[in-house]
Amino acid sequence: MKPTDTSDPDYYHKVVDCQWACPAHTDVPEYIRLIAQGRYSDAYIVNRESNVFPGILGRVCDRPCEPACRRGRVEEKPVAICRLKRVAADLRDDIVPRLPKAPAQKNGRRVACIGAGPASLTVANDLLPIGYEVVVFEQYAVPGGLMRTNIPAFRLPQAVLDEEIGTIAGMGAEILLGTPVKSMRQLLEGGGFDAVFVGTGAPRGKELSLPGRHDTDRIHIGIAWLESVAFGHVESIGSGC
Ligand SMILES: Cc1cc2nc3c(=O)[nH]c(=O)nc-3n(C[C@H](O)[C@H](O)[C@H](O)COP(=O)(O)OP(=O)(O)OC[C@H]3O[C@@H](n4cnc5c(N)ncnc54)[C@H](O)[C@@H]3O)c2cc1C
Ligand code: SF4
């Protein structure tokens, strides 16, 4: 057996089951301690170090941390880690003054991000404070990617999306809406960018090859259908067959 390598941060993550189970390795115990002390803004900032959308995740995360929570072994139910994240987000004060600022003196490098989904927005969040100019190209008239187009507004209110995306835009990201990138060559050769991040997502619903699948217009592919609902193309689903 290999000796324990305490210089590896993963060692500490693994010791805390919920933190290890979270894909972003969020420091769960720390932020819950802060919430218990009523320090909601501090808890939000701890969350934001791992993921820039705590208010969104507090509503829609799949919460793999909770099955790993040790309380589940002694009290049957885990700590409501995900919803506590929402508590911190909803009750916090304005945290913008506490976030790193984009310096007035840029480093001279320009980065293009294709798509205004969580991936590109996170890239912008991380590059702006170290002096990069970031331009985000989004094909639709609204930013947010699948967070916006595939999660119904009753689960994730637009205002929460707008605020957390607005925080990143406010750091200085130039978000060009209604601007699809149609030619990578043109962007690479004529865009004047030092780097291009492709954050276009990989949205594809799974087709079902079942007899009768195409005999009706009442079977929909989830991703396309949710997008139609989000953009107001579908307003009712009609009655049952
Ligand atoms: C119901 C549901 C289904 C999901 N299904 C999937 C799935 O099938 N695949 C998947 O990877 N994740 C899926 N996820 C998980 C989650 O949505 C993704 O992990 C997350 O959205 C990925 O973020 P992203 O920024 O990479 O891409 P997205 O959120 O998809 O954002 C990409 C953005 O790029 C824009 N864009 C695309 N092409 C261009 C272009 N040429 N020019 C300009 N803008 C462009 C899009 O309009 C969009 O705003 C799903 C989530 C939900 C809620
Ligand atoms: S709710 Fe999601 S983001 Fe938050 S700690 Fe759990 S897995 Fe991580």
- Ligand closest to CA 115: 1
Among the ranges given (1-5, 73-77, 142-146, 173-177), the one the predictor scored with the smallest mean pLDDT? 1-5
Distance 12 CA to ligand 1 centre (A): 32
End-to-end CA distance of the chain: 61
**Alpha carbons 99 and 94: distance in angstroms, whole number:** 10
For residue 6, the CA-to-ligand 2 centroid distance in Å is: 24
In this structure, the answer to whether residues 114 and 194 fall within a common structural domain is yes
Q: Is the domain of 188 the same as that of 228?
A: no
Residue 219 pLDDT > 90 = no
The total number of structural domains that make up the chain: 3
pLDDT score of 239 more than 80: no
Spatial contact of 53 and 164, defined as CB atoms under 8 Å apart: yes
DSSP 207: P
Claim to verify: residue 189 and residue 232 sit in the same structural domain: no
Are 171 and 194 within one domain?
A: yes
Q: If 0-12 CB within 10 Å is exposed, 13-18 middle and 19+ buried, where does residue 124 land?
A: buried
CATH code: domain of residue 145: 3.50.50.60
Give pTM, 2 decimals: 0.92
Å from CA of 135 to ligand 1 middle: 18
Same domain assignment for residues 16 and 89:
yes
Q: Which atom of ligand 2 is nearest to the CA of 82?
A: 1
Q: Does residue 171 share a domain with residue 117?
A: yes
How large a percentage of the chain has pLDDT more than 90?
Answer: 80
Is the confidence at residue 240, as pLDDT, over 70?
Answer: no
13 and 40, same domain (yes or no): yes
End-of-domain residue from the set 61, 93, 125: 93
Please report whether residue 104 resides in a domain: no
What CATH code is carried by the domain that includes residue 15?
A: 1.10.1060.10
Ligand 2, residues at Cβ distance < 6 Å: 22, 24, 26, 28, 51, 57, 61, 63-65, 81-82, 85
For residue 234, give Cα distances in angstroms to 152, 225, 230.
12, 8, 8
Query: Ligand 2 centre and the CA of 14: distance in Å?
Result: 15
In this structure, the answer to whether residues 80 and 146 fall within a common structural domain is no
Q: Is residue 149 part of a domain?
A: yes
> Considering only CA atoms, which residue is closest to atom 4 of ligand 2?
82
Nearest residue CA, atom 38 of ligand 1? 200
In a domain, 173, yes or no: yes
Let me know if residue 2 belongs to a domain: no
Asked if 67 and 31 sit in the same domain, the reply is yes
Q: How far is the CA of 203 from the centre of ligand 1 (A)?
A: 5
Q: Is residue 137 part of a domain?
A: yes
Q: What is the mean pLDDT of the segment spanning 105-129?
A: 98
* pLDDT at residue 53 tops 70: yes
Quick one: tokens of 39?
Answer: 């320090």
Residue 172 lies in a domain: yes
Coil, helix or strand at residue 67:
helix
Indicate if the pLDDT at residue 150 is higher than 70. yes
Judgement on whether residues 79 and 145 belong to the same structural domain of the protein = no
pLDDT over 80 at 241, yes or no = no
- Tokens 């994730």 identify what position? 156
Please report the atom of ligand 2 found closest to the CA of residue 24: 8
63: left (phi over 0), alpha (psi -120 to 50) or beta: left
Q: pLDDT of 55-87, one tens digit each?
A: 999 999 999 999 999 999 999 899 999 999 999
The residue range of the domain holding 50 is: 9-93
pLDDT exceeds cutoff 70 at 7? yes
Ligand with the closest atom to the CA of 29? 2
Indicate which atom in ligand 2 lies nearest the CA of residue 64: 7
**Does a structural domain hold residue 28?**
yes
Across the beta sheet with 110-114, what order do the strands follow? Answer: 174-176, 133-137, 110-114, 195-198
Q: Which of 66, 93, 120 is the last residue of a domain?
A: 93
CA-CA distance, 118 to 111, in Å (whole number)?
16
Same structural domain, 190 and 121: yes
Identify the DSSP state of 141.
S
What's the whole-number mean pLDDT along residues 20-34? 96
* Sign of the torsion angle spanned by Cα atoms 128, 194, 117, 66: negative
Q: How confident is the model at residue 158 (pLDDT cuts 50, 70, 90)?
A: very high
Testing ligand 2's pocket by substitution, the residue of 44, 65, 70 carrying the most ligand atoms inside 8 A of its CB is 65
Q: In angstroms, what is the span from residue 188 Cα to ligand 2's centroid?
A: 36
Atom from ligand 2 closest to the CA of residue 19: 5
Backbone angles phi, psi at 86, to 5 degrees: -65, -40
Domain identity same for 56 and 127: no
The sign of the torsion formed by the CA atoms of 190, 132, 56, 28 equals positive
- Residue 66 maps to a domain: yes
